[in-house]
Chain A
Amino acid sequence: NAGVTQTPKFRVLKTGQSMTLLCAQDMNHEYMYWYRQDPGMGLRLIHYSVGEGTTAKGEVPDGYNVSRLKKQNFLLGLESAAPSQTSVYFCASSYSPYRWAQETYEQYFGPGTRLTVT
């Protein structure tokens, strides 16, 4: 199993450009998440999805959109990139806590995408 993969690994954008980050998982997980990691800030949740066709806002959703058209993929879009979106982006996935009536499940993380907006 590849686990959680992210494409691309690195990207440089100019202010105002758009792009899409792709996350894919092969573990049949129901839940998927997008985080950003900034120095001294830890990881902050941008958006998440509890199943195919569903999305929800996290802690810092402004300036981002997401889509979950297939269970295994979760896309993060930047419509008009800004320098404040320079960050490392991580995708994660997990089983639903309702799958086997267990309270919590481990999140599995991808290797990250380093995005620079100039």
Chain B
Amino acid sequence: GDSVTQMEGPVTLSEEAFLTINCTYTATGYPSLFWYVQYPGEGLQLLLKATKADDKGSNKGFEATYRKETTSFHLEKGSVQVSDSAVYFCALIYGNNRLAFGKGNQVVVIP
């Protein structure tokens, strides 16, 4: 079935560093792709999305481009802040608007 794979392990980096979180997907067709963010003690919030190949989603300085040829949707931010510390989930849509999530990546930004 359709699935999402995120890079293993937490990500620890210093404030103002460049952040990349890798996400690849397996799917029949070209599903919409999402990044959700979960701040400590909260539910998930949509961070950005892309609905077709070559689309770029962006929000709050984060960006991700839907790459059909590499089946990827990597998340990037040029200069992270302490407030970006959270868990980030990549996901895709499949039948009946259901989401398939990756395992998530904990991001810790050190001042």
Q: Which of B8-65 contact A (CB under 8 A)?
A: 32, 34, 36, 41-46, 49, 51
Residues of A in contact with B, size category: 20 to 34
Nearest Cβ distance between residue A101 and chain B, in whole angstroms?
13
- B residues near A (Cβ < 8 Å) are 32, 34, 36, 41-46, 49, 51, 89, 93, 96-99, 101-104
**Are A104 and B32 in contact, CB atoms less than 8 angstroms apart?**
yes
Of B41, B93, B99, B102, which one neighbours A45 at CB under 8 angstroms? B99
Nearest Cβ distance between residue B38 and chain A, in whole angstroms?
9
Of B49, B51, B93, B103, which one neighbours A41 at CB under 8 angstroms? B103
Please give, as numbers and ranges, the residues of chain B lying within 8 Å of A50 by CB-CB distance: 96
Given A43-B44, A90-B44, answer yes or no on A31-B51 (Cβ-Cβ < 8 Å): no
**What separation, in Å, do the CA atoms of A44 and B32 have in the docked complex?**
18
Please give, as numbers and ranges, the residues of chain A lying within 8 Å of B102 by CB-CB distance: 42
Nearest Cβ distance between residue B43 and chain A, in whole angstroms?
4
**Are B96 and A112 in contact, CB atoms less than 8 angstroms apart?**
no
